[in-house]
Amino acid sequence: MPHTLTTLVSQASAGLGCTPDVIAAAPGRVNLIGEHIDYCDGFVMPFALDRNIVIAAKRTNSETATLRSAGMPTATISLAAPQVIGEPTWTNYLRGVIDGFQKLGYTIPGFDAYIVSSVPGGAGLSSSAALECATATLLEGLLGVALTKKQKALLCQKAEHNFAHVPCGIMDQFASTFGEENRLVMIDCQTGEPTMVPFENPDLAVIIANTNVHHQLSDGGYAIRRKHTEDGLSIIGKASWRDVSMSDVEEKWDMLGDPVNRRSRHVVGEIARTQEAAAALAASDFARLGTLMYASHDSLRDDFEVSCAELDLMVHIATEIGTAGGVIGARMTGGGFGGSTVTLCESAQAESIMATMRQRYETETQIVPQIFCSRPSRGAHLVNV
Ligand code: GLA
């Protein structure tokens, strides 16, 4: 799959079949640490991938948006009426974002659009957030307006809530919007403010391993986990997870009951691990960072129960390669129930680590994984036409 932005831009323009008026790009994300705590006032540490969804569009004199993408039937959305959930399902991300702009009072001009992507879908790498953020950026371009990054991310999150029925936190849309080259997007999800954390050490590489086992966040597993954390907080009786200590969880263990007690232990532990990981990264204490990543995976597997055999296997392979082979740490990334792992390693060893992961994973599962490296890249933006 070609994935450079330049390639995607040419493909989108060629697919459109005429010179575009506007081209928008928005990336997927990978999360280094801080999983399933963005909806718990926690800290998360994602970065924008160098893999994007690109939309090229031409204004028309109609009141419709015509959407095309390779291998997909053409879809048409009416811009004259309020947006409603419709078919095909993927258009709901666009409908939700259009709805957000209409609710801000904008009249969207008719347009034809062609969409291309290098963000693997259903892989826990936020292809849906990338589609939402690319759509929002495209609409900004078509309307000649600019929302603040935060406003745009929140509008896209709302689209996901209302049009895809996934009660997601803010991590994915923030990472896709705020992403910058060589920067992690450390988000304090209590204040809703991101801090750009330098990540430019050329000796460090990040490997993303898509197990090619697909999960469906909207099948309920995600929403149930979120509900468990809400129940946990209400039983503990604090206003925010940031005010909860591990001893609070231990004191209320029986009252919380299983599995809410284990879900609560994950939340409190993961918030602490993410803060510690930020400190370890700042101090270049990579051994500590790696230990925290493994601990995060264990907690997601045992206490939060969002991992699966394939994710565990991929992390296990990385663990076995170990520090001797250049691996610093590994864990599942994203919502879970399939999807991808993230492995931090020494750049010099990245190729051989990827080869071992590919070969061993395929031998043991008969599934061909998709494994690649990515560096923190630019967030959603308009591409000069
Ligand atoms: C999905 C959601 C995010 C976040 C992660 C888990 O990607 O969209 O908001 O909750 O799962 O960390």
pLDDT band at residue 327 under the 50/70/90 scheme: very high
| Of 38, 214, 332, best ligand 1 pocket probe by most atoms within 8 Å of the beta carbon | 38
Mean pLDDT of the region 246-267: 98
> Of 38, 172, 203, 254, which is the active-site residue?
172
- State yes or no: pLDDT of 150 exceeds 80: yes
pLDDT band at residue 214 under the 50/70/90 scheme: confident
pLDDT tens digits, residue range 219-241?
A: 689 999 999 999 999 999 999 99
In Å, the largest CA–CA distance within the chain is 65
pLDDT band at residue 255 under the 50/70/90 scheme: very high
* Cα–Cα distance measured from residue 115 to residue 24, given in angstroms and rounded to the nearest whole number: 10
- State yes or no: pLDDT of 368 exceeds 70: yes
- State yes or no: pLDDT of 316 exceeds 80: yes
Q: Is residue 243 among the annotated active site residues?
A: no
C-beta 35 within 6 A of ligand 1: yes
- State yes or no: pLDDT of 328 exceeds 90: yes
Residue 377: what pLDDT?
98
- Ligand 1 mean position to 38 CA, how many Å? 7
Residue 220: what pLDDT?
85
C-beta 339 within 6 A of ligand 1: no
Mean pLDDT value across the chain: 97
Mean pLDDT of the region 175-192: 98
